[in-house]
Each structure stands twice: as C-alpha cells, then as structure tokens.
Amino acid sequence: MLVVGFFVVALVAVGLTRSDRDYTDLSIHNPDANGVMALAEVARERGVALRQISELQAANIGDPMGTTLVIASGADLFDLQAQSILAYPGPIVVLGDSAALQAELSDSFATVMSGATTLTAACTSRAAAAAGSVSTDGRAYVGAPEDASTCFESEGSAAYVAVHREGQGDVTFFASPESLTNGSVLDEGNAALGLHLIGGHDKAVWYLGSFTDGSFLTWSRAGDYSPPDVDPSADFLPPGTGNAFYALALALVFVAVWRARRFGALVREPLPVVIRASEATRGRARLYRAAGATGRAAASLRAAAAVRMGRRLGVGRSSDSEVLVNAIVRATGRHRDVVASLLYGPAPQNESQMMTLIDQIDALESEVHRS
C-alpha cells in the first residue's frame, strides 16, 4: 500500500506541475533563445488565436480565409504534402527553406546564402514597410516566380517573397526564421515583421513538423471537410509508411541482439593432419628450388642460423647485427668481415653458390657450439 500511495502522490505532483513548454527550435512554447514564445505571446495579446501542430492532419482549420497557416519547419516536406499545403485557400507563411514548396511554385525558386545580414525594405508590402529593416542570418531566395513580389533585396536575392494568388490568400516566404526567435526578435524591425506575418487574421496555425510526419493538411469549407487536391504519383507511399519502416528496423535490431551468438573462450581443436618439421622444411626447400628463389632461401637460412647462434652466445633477437657478429668473432676467432659476409652478405646467384653458403654457415655454427 505504501508503494501505491507513493505513485499516486507522484502522479498528482506531475499533473499539478505540468507545463506546455518545450525546447524545440522555433516552437511557440519554447522560452529559450531558439524559440518564438515572445512573438507568440505578443500576437496572442493582440487577439490572435495561435496554436501549434506537429502533424499536418491535426490542422483541422474551420475558417481558411480567416486563418493564417505558418509553415515554420518545412524542410522535410515531400511533394504531395507541398501540394496539399498550396491547395489551402487561406494565407500561407513559409519560414526558411522548403524545397518541396518552392519547387511547386517555380523550378528555379531556391535558397542561397547572401552576404548581407541587415536588409532594408524597398517595396509596397505592408509587413515589410512596417518593419523598415530586418536582421537575418544571411539566407535569401533567388529565382522567385514571375508573379511574385520581393522585398529586403541584396545582390539579386531577396529575403522576402510574396506569391499572389487570385481569389486566395498570398503565399509569403521569409528566408530567416531565426530573425523571429526570442534571441533576435528585438533586433531592427524583426518583431514588426513577425507580427504582421502571423497576425494578419484572428487565427493562426503554427506547423512545426519533422521527417516523421507523412500526413496531409486538413481544413473545411462551410463546416464540411475538403480533402487536399493533390496529384498522386507512381511511387506514392501512404502516410505512416516511414514510421512503419522505423518500427520494423527497431524490431530487427532487437531480434538480432536476442538471437546473436554469445562467443565464449576459444577452444583448441586438433588439426586433421600432423606434419613433421623435417618434412615441412624439405617441402619448403623444394618450393624454393622450383621457383629459383635462392635469395629467399638464403635469407631464411641465415636468419635461422643467426637465431640459433645468438641463443648460444646470449645475444637477444632484438639486438643489432653488429652485436651478434662481434660475439661470433670472439667465440670462433674468425675475421669479422668473413662472419658478416656469411650472415649478411649478398644473396647467392645459383644453386652452386647456395650449397657453398650452406656448408660455410654450417661450419661456422659448429664452431660457435664448440666454443
């Protein structure tokens, strides 16, 4: 009972202290520098009913011509979602880069980085004129549609593009959503521009989507739902397909971990055939002879003899060749140049020289072992 009571108290405490604040970039509930809570609160004080959604299907806009749709995060939209948004008859505001929406309006409509960060309005737009000037992060648009009006221009690019639609609300693009965040909204005329963009009507829907959202925009006319007018394509996948793939991949990972073999200690297994050392040596010698590799055979012979004589004389394998040669000279009394030539001299050129070298090294090794 004590444990149950503890959980009840914890749940009540969580319910009483629950807050709708978050820390997502461009969220109207985010009080940090990367959020837009300040702009949202001022807009609400001016009578704008502003709400945030993370899925397009959650929009459920009942009065399109009186509701501004703000696409605050449109970089992950795919073509059919862009078509459903542009079919919306009310005013649309797009913040930042949205390749799918821009491509639906013009093939050349793209986002670039410009050199200017403080721009002055030089157009007839009410929102731009109210702002006067804005500070941006340098992003701007090029290749806007022919029937669009531009503002805050610099070197052939514009940070503000408004596309006019006959009988419908305008589609307004602003390239720098960071200008409307809590950390930048007080710079220049950023606050005035933001309030005019989202406060032109009594209602506004703030879409903060992600790559996991595969739904379409929903709204209604005269109380009846009007499905978006989109063109299906041959490679169309239904909404939620991405989430299904993620769940399947996660399940496969869990199954792989569950069924994975647990490696224990190594087990020594007997070889199927035991080969004598002498047979292996003779076999290698025949291979060297067949290949005419007298140089490789001599190197192997010299290395093995040097190891044996070094072990006899107390010279380690990591010691320098000079140390071994000097030790052999002291043990045998031979001339230093003779010993060095036998162990580290040039490779024999034929079998006759090879046999002579073998006899000489064998004699030297015998002298070392007798010392």
- Cα–Cα distances in Å, from 75 out to 81, 169, 223, 226, 341? 11, 22, 31, 25, 75
Q: For the chain, where are the E strands, in sequence order?
A: 49-53, 67-73, 92-95, 110-113, 118-120, 133-135, 139-142, 148-154, 157-163, 171-174, 203-208, 219-221, 224-226
CA nearest 88: which of 207, 241, 242? 207
- CATH 3.40.50-classified regions of the chain: 19-229+236-241
- 152 Cβ contact partners less than 8 Å away, ≥ 6 residues apart: 119, 120, 121, 128, 134, 136, 140, 158, 159, 160
* Antiparallel, parallel or unpaired: β 171-174 and 203-208: unpaired
- Three-state SS annotation for 152-166: EEECCEEEEEEECCC
Per the structure block, which two tokens stand in for 371?
A: 């010392």
Q: Which amino acid is at 61?
A: I
CATH class of 19-229+236-241: alpha beta
Give the pLDDT confidence of 267-300 residue by residue, as tens digits: 676 767 777 877 877 887 788 777 777 888 888 8
Q: Note the pLDDT of residue 263.
A: 59
Q: Note the pLDDT of residue 221.
A: 62
Q: Note the pLDDT of residue 171.
A: 95
Per the structure block, which two tokens stand in for 95?
A: 């913040």
The 10 Å CB-count burial string (b at 16+, else e) for 123-132 is bebebbbebe
Taking residues 85-104, report their average pLDDT. Answer: 93
Identify which of 70-74, 236-240, 263-267 has the greatest average pLDDT.
70-74
Please state whether the predicted TM-score (pTM) of the whole model is above 0.85.
no
Whether the Cβ atoms of residue 152 and residue 173 lie closer than 8 Å to each other:
no
Residue 13 exposed, middle or buried by CB count within 10 Å (0-12, 13-18, 19+): exposed
How far apart are the C-alpha atoms of 173 and 208, rounded to whole Å? 16
Per the structure block, which two tokens stand in for 326?
A: 């000097």
* Antiparallel, parallel or unpaired: β 67-73 and 203-208: parallel
Give the pLDDT confidence of 9-31 residue by residue, as tens digits: 333 343 444 456 778 899 999 99
Give the pLDDT confidence of 126-178 residue by residue, as tens digits: 888 888 999 998 899 999 998 899 999 988 899 999 999 988 999 999 999 99
